[in-house]
Chains A and B, each alone.
Chain A
Amino acid sequence: MNFRACLRVLGVSVTVFLLLSSGLSAAATPEFEIEIRNHLFQPDVLTIPAGIKVKLIIYNRDPTPEEFESYELNREKVIPGGRKAVVFIGPLAPGRYPFFGEFNPQTALGTIVVEAESDATQ
């Protein structure tokens, strides 16, 4: 196998990877919105249902950039000033998942509370 053959094998594997990764999920995903104002999250506690995927839309109303970050949720994303960001989370087990704004971690703090469906309806 020469260098060129090796490149060809890589090309095929990249294509397979991209094809596999484009498997889109069709089911409607519930959306939740969070705002950043004066380096604070509003709301700072957000309750979402357990066991399903959820779409978070985070509006950065500050002129400065922020990075939405959570070690517990395994998420991080830079949001330029005055912009919004989309972050998908879940499916998650019931519990509390803290998140923070990495650029202003003293003030920008919040928690995603994941509740089982039966708890949420009570």
Chain B
Amino acid sequence: MLLNSVIIVLREVLEAALMLSVLLASERFLHVTRRWVLPAILLGLAGAATYGYFLDPVSELFDGVGQEVCNALLQFATFVLIALLAFQVPQQLRSAPRRRSNRIALLMAAMVIMAFTREGSEIYIYVSGFWNVTDFFSAVALGSIVGGCIGFSIGVLIYYLLLARPLRQEPAISIILLALIGAGLASQAVRLLIQADWISSAGAIWDTSFLLSEQSLLGQLAYALVGYEASPSAVEAIVYLASLLFVALAYFSGKFANKVNEDTTL
């Protein structure tokens, strides 16, 4: 029971912590105010409790697939915000550190709120489910705390890794990481819609579980970081690649727009 709760909570915390780490690390070159961080985390936790509390009626929506639709919407919305952020980055790179961007701070806050809502709701349901089971509750509570701490530590580790010498000068690393996280979220959203039968799928196109199992810690990390999926369907793979391209397109059109603006003002 103890180990089990460690793993469950770790999995959920890991995804939210990674998102937060990459965003915080990218502030090094974007020079965005950090005032959004605490309110975003608190709002995300409130969102998690609300979503978790209302999961029952939400699940009943759309003939019993409301949960999938809701999670897919949150994931896809986060992907869209990542693309918008990529579009904003070139302009901010030019004007930073003179000008602080509220728009970027807002985008980041919204991403964190949605990540915490999505991942936190599952922890809420798990822990609250064992609230009245006195035999298990102490094990579940302790396991959750340990899992939460491990997840948080990995987030901190990645944050400092991104700030370490060879990486810190490179805005591209953060943008590529965000693009990978975004593509992972978009393809996971598609997978949920397949599970809900909103999208039809012809089955897996390959299976790499013998190379890297999704159950392993490394597999979990790869899942959170780049949306690793051992046996994806064709739709998931296509959406993954298309999403990566879309974020790249957003970034370069942001760069282009910035250049045009500059030419006209000169």
Contacts and interface: CB of A to CB of B under 8 A. Distances in A.
Contact of A6 (B76, B87, B202): B87
A78 B55 contact: yes
A64 B133 contact: yes
B214 A71 contact: yes
B134 interface: no
A22 B198 contact: yes
B255 to A, nearest CB: 11
A7 to B, nearest CB: 8
A37 interface: no
A74 B87 CA distance: 32
B230 A71 contact: yes
Nearest to B209: A71
Q: How many B residues touch the partner, as a band?
A: 35 or more
Contact of A85 (B8, B64, B230): B64
A86 B64 contact: yes
Given A17-B76, A93-B203, A88 B133 contact: no
Interface in A52-95: 53, 55, 64-65, 67, 71-72, 74-75, 77-81, 83-93
B191 A74 contact: yes
B203 A1 contact: no
Given A78-B67, A83-B56, A102-B8, A3 B195 contact: no
B209 A85 contact: no
Contacts of A93: 203
Contacts of A86: 63-65, 196
Interface stretch (B41-49, B124-132, B155-163): B124-132
Given A10-B84, A83-B59, A86-B64, A64 B130 contact: yes
Interface of B: 4, 8, 55-56, 59, 63-65, 67-68, 76, 80, 83-84, 87-88, 103, 122, 125-126, 129-130, 133, 190-191, 193-200, 202-204, 209, 213-215, 229-233, 246, 250, 253-254, 256-257
Interface of A: 1-3, 6-7, 10, 13-14, 17, 21-25, 29, 53, 55, 64-65, 67, 71-72, 74-75, 77-81, 83-93, 102-106
Ordered nearest first, which 5 A-B pairs have the shortest CB separation?
A: A86-B64, A65-B129, A88-B197, A64-B129, A1-B257
Given A78-B125, A86-B64, 10 more contacts: A53-B197, A74-B204, A74-B232, A77-B67, A79-B59, A86-B65, A88-B196, A89-B195, A91-B203, A93-B203
15 contacts: A2-B257, A6-B87, A6-B254, A21-B190, A23-B199, A29-B197, A65-B129, A67-B126, A74-B195, A74-B232, A78-B122, A80-B55, A88-B195, A102-B8, A106-B4
